[in-house]
């Protein structure tokens, strides 16, 4: 660990003078699948680049990112807990980063550091790839934190019939609904908020949904944000339950399966948001050369 309190997993640009260097920054970070994903994209698109991991200590993100770019680094992905730090570090925010309220992708352009957010776009691309019809659908989004906020813009741009934000705290759900009210109106979406407890009451008018997305952190702790009664009201066999956590079958996914619904974890979202970042860094023209779904299939096979 150097003076900046960095655990560098073979990443600093001066170690790779003949390659364009990228990395993912988080804490912890050793488990990250991002290097494998980006290496496969690089192989598919025949790009000379290196992608590694950096574990920054809390409070050190800005110093780490500044050091990385000063040494010639080309771009960074950012994961928990530094997405707000990355937003503060960026000199220019893209419109979707402004909407998301967080940054997961940094890159240098015209001597400035730009911040973008590819999470919501990755979610939508994964849902569409799995055959979901989002236009005209009724969507329930569980949670009103950063993950939910990052998903809101891209979901609304798909013009679902209705999007309900359900959260433990009604205030946070109401704030999110108000923040995105204009975009919802532009896209003809009925946007509303609810508490998780209200999902238990059929008199509240919460009929089954085509798509239910868990954007809460409950999946990390082995819990579900939904009670059994709420799950009974929400899921039917034609429902699709999407868990942003990946790599395990969560309590939320089990609730949906028990009621005959289809389920998915968030591994496809991880791959698709990475594809978006890769194309930002290396050029949109490479989109025909990379195949995120084949990368996802290999990842799933290696996890079996």
Active site residue 83: yes
Nearest in space to 45 (alpha carbons), one of 275, 267, 300, 299: 275
183 phi and psi angles, rounded to 5 deg = -65, -40
- Say which of 33, 83, 204, 285 is annotated catalytic: 83
Q: What angle do CA 148, 280, 152 make, to 5 degrees?
A: 15
Exposed/middle/buried for residue 17 (C-beta within 10 Å: 0-12, 13-18, 19+): exposed
Nearest in space to 99 (alpha carbons), one of 179, 26, 16, 207: 179
- Helix 34-45 to helix 292-303 angle, to the nearest 10 degrees? 140
Work out the number of other CB atoms within 10 angstroms of the CB of residue 31.
8
Nearest in space to 182 (alpha carbons), one of 220, 152, 224: 152
15 phi and psi angles, rounded to 5 deg = -85, -10
- Helix 292-303 to helix 267-282 angle, to the nearest 10 degrees? 140
Going by C-beta distance under 8 Å and a sequence separation of 6 or more, which residues neighbour residue 271? 37, 122, 126, 292, 295, 296, 299
CB 249 within 8 Å of CB 279: no
Strand pairing of 6-9 and 49-56? antiparallel
Total number of residues shown for the chain: 304
CA–CA gap between residue 208 and residue 214 (Å, rounded): 15
Q: Look at the block and give the residue holding tokens 């059994």.
A: 228
List the catalytic residues. Answer: 83
């Amino acid at each position: 660990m150097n003076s900046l309190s960095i655990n560098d997993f073979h990443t600093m640009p001066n170690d790779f003078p003949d390659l364009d260097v990228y990395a993912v920054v988080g804490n912890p970070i050793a488990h990250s699948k991002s290097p494998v994903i980006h290496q496969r994209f690089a192989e598919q698109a025949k790009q000379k680049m290196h992608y590694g991991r950096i574990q920054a200590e809390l409070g050190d993100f800005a110093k780490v990112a500044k050091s990385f770019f000063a040494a010639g680094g080309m771009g960074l992905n950012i994961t928990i807990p530094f997405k707000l730090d990355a937003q503060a570090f960026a000199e220019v925010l893209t419109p979707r980063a402004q909407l998301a309220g967080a940054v997961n992708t940094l890159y240098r352009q015209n001597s400035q550091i730009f911040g973008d957010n590819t999470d919501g776009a990755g979610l939508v691309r994964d849902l569409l790839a799995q055959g979901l019809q989002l236009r005209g659908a009724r969507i329930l989004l569980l949670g009103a934190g950063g993950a939910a906020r990052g998903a809101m813009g891209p979901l609304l741009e798909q013009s679902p019939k209705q999007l309900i934000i359900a959260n433990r705290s009604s205030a946070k759900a109401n704030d999110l609904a108000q923040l995105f009210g204009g975009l919802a109106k532009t896209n003809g979406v009925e946007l509303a908020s609810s508490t998780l407890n209200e999902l238990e009451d059929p008199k509240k008018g919460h009929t089954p949904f085509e798509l239910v997305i868990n954007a809460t952190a409950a999946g990390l702790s082995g819990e579900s944000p939904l009670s059994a009664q709420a799950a009974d009201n929400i899921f039917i066999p034609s429902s699709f339950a999407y868990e942003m956590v990946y790599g395990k079958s969560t309590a939320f996914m089990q609730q949906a399966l028990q009621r005959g619904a289809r389920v998915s974890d968030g591994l496809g979202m991880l791959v698709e948001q990475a594809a978006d970042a890769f194309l930002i860094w290396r050029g949109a023209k490479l989109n025909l050369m990379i195949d995120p779904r084949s990368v996802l299939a290999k990842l799933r096979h290696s996890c079996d």
